[in-house]
Chains A and B, each alone.
Chain A
Amino acid sequence: MTEIAPGWELTVGLEVHCELQSATKLFCGCANAFGQTPNTNVCPVCLGLPGSLPVLNRTAVEFAMRIGLALNCHVEPSIFHRKNYFYPDMPKDYQVSQYDEPINLDGYIELPSGTRVGIERAHLEEDTGKTSHMGGGGRIHDADYSLVDYNRAGVPLVEIVSRPDITSPEDARAYVSELRSILVATGASDGRMEEGSLRVDANVSVRRSGTTELGTRCEVKNMNSLRSLGRAIEYEAARQIELLEDGGRVVQETRHWNENTGTTSSMRSKEEAFDYRYFPEPDLVSIAPSAEWVTAVREALPPMPSERRGKLLAAVRSASPDVDEHAIADQIVTVVDLGIDALVVAAIAAGADGRLALARGANEAASRPEDARALKVESFVELLHLESSGKLSATQAKSVLAAILESGATPAEAIAKLGFEGVDDAALAVIVDGIIGANPQEWQRFVEGDEKVAQFLLGQVMKQTKGQANGRVVAELLALRKGA
């Protein structure tokens, strides 16, 4: 167990709310869409009008099953409960959610580092509307009044509850990052944290190193990026440690992460007591997926990121056996995350250089992931060959790749259009000789072994050829003349 501070260990459990990408809401036919004009995707059901009744969206259930199976959970017969509390963003003043009989139970995620984090449950529930606080700088406590938009009310969510297996802010970030990749891979979620389609709450506690009983936890909310998640956990752990070291005691409560101040603060309002009075939702019947349905969903699941990372690494390693696996770990994650791994693996299988294919995939292709997923393998392979054989410089290859991703042209067309036909070696030799003649002092230092000046000479050649010279050929020509 690693320590978060001398003598202290950290325990974190994460609750991730994931909006599903179904066409409609969980219990009505209103469009499930982000960023629409307020209160335009509403109907009697999601507005909780008197007399309206919910009917469950089959696709949302199937998406929840996909997520559960991708997280190695068991899909169970399940029911909905009502969670009762008053809040103006909740049209019925109760939330329809799954309580003690959730659809997915008991799974796990394996992080790229090899750490396994248990998943307690992944259940279905409905989202709330959105409130905007008016006046007082938009903060809830200082606002004069609030405005409510119910477009988001009733959007399907899956809440994924981890076991308290996370022991560092880094692992917390890695967990959410991995979970996000899995969710995107299932097709059930777009995984966009900034748009709020992925929302993370962290249950944070600390304990003296070597003790086994978990400390009192606080639930921290309102982190809207992986970075703020890490910061919030660090801050909260430090706050609790300081409190305990000063002889104080941690109060179990919900705390709000403030991105600007970098601190957490209590959300408790004095008068309010929450007693959710859960009971089975009488307006909905149970979900009991047949074994056939579960099998069909499982079989239709695409390969998950961990499996794809393994395949990609194996492909790179087979083509470039001396590769430093640690150095390329981030590139592997990026390529898989963006779904470019199939392209890279296919290129390697067709004979492309492993490390080069991965690097171009993780950099240039990654900046246009959609185009990269549509790119023809042959084009990618041809480009990689041109670069590895020295026919294109690295700079040129990057430009050509960017061009073919943007325009859909073949490498030959892009090269012609960019004027990268290349400077032939004889012409290049003349240019190199001219540069040597024009810079006698620098040449002298180069001959005497000053390697730094080589960059200067190369730069001069590039300037004259407008960047079209192959750097490796220039280096060879300079070495040849130095030796002569």
Chain B
Amino acid sequence: MTPLDRPSAAEVAAAVRSGERSARSFIEESLTQIGRDEATLHCFNEITAEQALARAEEIDAAVAKGEDPGPLAGVPIALKDNLCTRGIATTCSSKILEGWLPPYDATVVQRLHQAGAISVGKTNLDEFAMGSSTENSAFGPSRNPWDTGRVPGGSSGGSAAAVAAGYVPLSLGSDTGGSIRQPAAFCGTVGLKPTYGLVSRFGLIAFASSLDQIGPFANTVADAALMLESIAGHDPRDSTSLPTQPSAYLAALGEGVEGLRVGVISDFLTDADATIEVAVRGAAEALCAGGATVEEVAIPELMNALAAYYLIAPAEASSNLSRYDGVRYGLRVDAPDVAKMNAATRQAGFGPEVKRRIMLGTYVLSAGYYDAYYAQAQRVRTLVAEAFNRAYAQFDVLIGPTTPTVAFPFGAKVDDPLAMYLSDLYTIPSNLAGHPAVSVPFALGEGAMPIGVQLLGPALGESVMLRAAQVVEAAQATGVRGPVAMSEGSAR
């Protein structure tokens, strides 16, 4: 059985709301699946089985009383372990936060709870969301359900793999430079990064505050839209939250792409694997067949985004991660004075990639380098946003690959930070501009691994972008409908 043969989130919710099946039965099924494959896949840092079963019983009791527990009633979900959950360890896959119990829930966690969703656990990630493979997790990497010798992508690798493995129909990740879309592409799931400010960041442990955004993983575009509806919308606790109410993303689906103007970003095709270029062209043809006009467009400014990103994100991160100093929570390594204690704690608590980025970020903000690096990167950010806006004057949706390659084997890039950073080449521009983008599995590439096609939209253009994504999804190759390896219990 592949994940798509399982009920979708919408089907689970419908069955629970109508009383046809209990929430408890869905949670038990999810926990059974996790119990079978988790030793191999390591998607989770913590599985909250007891809390999930207790919550399922509450939902079932509510249904029995004739109440409606919400649009995600009884849907098992998984939360990236950088989302704060009250009383449940939230580690960012870092030793520095081991044992910390947040005294509050993130806004998205509250909203999903109110919508009736049930979290079964906290998923693994690259430490503090810094990485593209989960190899930077302090608790060991997650594995790709399609091929356990390959990475699931990152940083939200655990959340992507949990959906791909059929543990849960929905999960949440966070995307700072591609951390939802890249693992979605690597694991053959749908991964959506919403417009910056559409989903509250309150309770998301910050990596780079001006770029971070929470979004869903799902098996289908429709399920991703369903989850987005539950988490989107203004939050007074996040000053950068947009003053908008979410649209009816789900209702807009199915309207097709007749008359839409689609631009294929030609700059994204030059460095991508040949099979990936073929996939993007195939997806463009599907949109064309659906009635859209499709043209190639060059946006060369986007190619400077990577360099700008690797200045801005580490700079913000270096500041965001200062608070892990051994004083108020988390790890402390004792030392005779407070400065030495800070330094010893941080040295022991952070892994090599986190330290590398803190170093880089501290350096580019330090006196004498600010203008040459940080301010210059912010100007490039302006150019990227302006270039996108010019393109969106001509096109409703842009399309390109999500990643230059399919999922790579463990260890392939771990010693070469620059090579690892390049896997974010096509996802970063949307983060700099604050625009939405979604990765949709479309074909199989090298090693029979899934290829993700990326659809990009202008600010708050989720509805139209998701309509186009659904048309692409409808044309996807058959083998893309879920990994067979794990579900048959025979890791390759």
Contact = CB atoms under 8 A, between A and B. Distances in A.
Direct A–B contact in complex, judged by CB atoms less than 8 Å apart:
yes
Interface of A: 44, 47-56, 82, 84, 86, 88, 91-94, 146, 148, 271-272, 275, 277-279, 282-285
Contacts of B365: 84, 277-279
5 contacts: A50-B205, A51-B106, A53-B202, A53-B237, A92-B323
| Pairs A-B, 10 closest by C-beta atoms | A93-B322, A277-B365, A282-B210, A282-B209, A50-B205, A51-B84, A51-B203, A51-B205, A48-B323, A92-B323
A54 B202 CA distance: 9
Q: Could you say which of A44, A54, A275, A277 has the most chain B C-beta atoms within 10 Å of its C-beta? A: A277
B206 A51 contact: yes
A86 B206 contact: no
A283 B106 CA distance: 16
B106 A84 contact: no
A84 B204 contact: no
A282 B318 CA distance: 13
B362 interface: yes
B275 interface: no
A342 B318 CA distance: 55
A275 B240 contact: no
Contact of A275 (B104, B106, B366): B366
Most buried by B among A92, A94, A279: A279
Contact of A277 (B104, B201, B338, B366): B366
Contacts of A50: 84, 90, 92, 97, 100, 102, 205-206, 323, 329
B489 interface: no
Interface in B114-168: none
Contacts of A91: 323, 328
B329 A86 contact: no
Given A53-B238, A54-B239, A93-B322, A86 B339 contact: yes
Interface in B166-221: 201-206, 208-210
Contacts of B208: 282
B61 interface: no
A74 B203 CA distance: 37
A43 to B, nearest CB: 9
Contacts of A271: 339
A271 B201 CA distance: 37
Contacts of A94: 319, 322
A279 B313 CA distance: 12
Nearest to A28: B237
Contacts of B92: 50
A284 B239 contact: yes
Given A49-B328, A53-B201, A88-B327, 8 more contacts: A49-B102, A49-B329, A51-B206, A86-B325, A146-B338, A278-B365, A282-B240, A284-B239
Interface centre among B205, B315, B325 (most CB of A within 10 A): B325
Contacts of A84: 318-319, 322, 365
B322 A279 contact: no
B42 to A, nearest CB: 23
B39 interface: no
Interface of B: 82-84, 90, 92, 97, 100, 102-104, 106, 201-206, 208-210, 236-240, 315-316, 318-319, 322-323, 325, 327-329, 338-339, 342, 362, 365-367, 370, 374
A86 B342 contact: yes
B319 A82 contact: yes
Given A53-B237, A92-B322, A283-B240, A148 B327 contact: yes
Nearest to B361: A277
B357 to A, nearest CB: 14
Contacts of A282: 208-210, 240, 316
A90 to B, nearest CB: 9
Contacts of A88: 325, 327, 338
Contacts of B342: 86
A86 B104 CA distance: 25
Nearest to A50: B205
A55 B325 contact: no
A258 to B, nearest CB: 22
B95 to A, nearest CB: 14
Contacts of B238: 53, 55
Nearest to B209: A282
Contact of A93 (B84, B104, B204, B323): B323
A405 B84 CA distance: 57
A47 B325 CA distance: 13
B222 to A, nearest CB: 30
Nearest to B106: A51
A51 B328 CA distance: 14
Contacts of B315: 279
B104 A44 contact: yes
Given A148-B327, A279-B315, A53 B102 contact: no
A53 B374 CA distance: 23
A289 to B, nearest CB: 16
A55 B339 contact: no
Contacts of B204: 51
Given A44-B104, A50-B84, A86-B342, A277 B203 contact: no
A55 B238 CA distance: 7
B375 to A, nearest CB: 9
A146 B341 CA distance: 13
A44 B339 CA distance: 24
B237 A55 contact: yes
A44 B240 CA distance: 18
Given A44-B104, A47-B328, A283-B239, A52 B202 contact: yes
Nearest to B342: A86
Contacts of A53: 201-202, 237-239
A450 to B, nearest CB: 74
Nearest to A93: B322
A52 B201 CA distance: 9
A269 B106 CA distance: 40
A279 B106 CA distance: 26
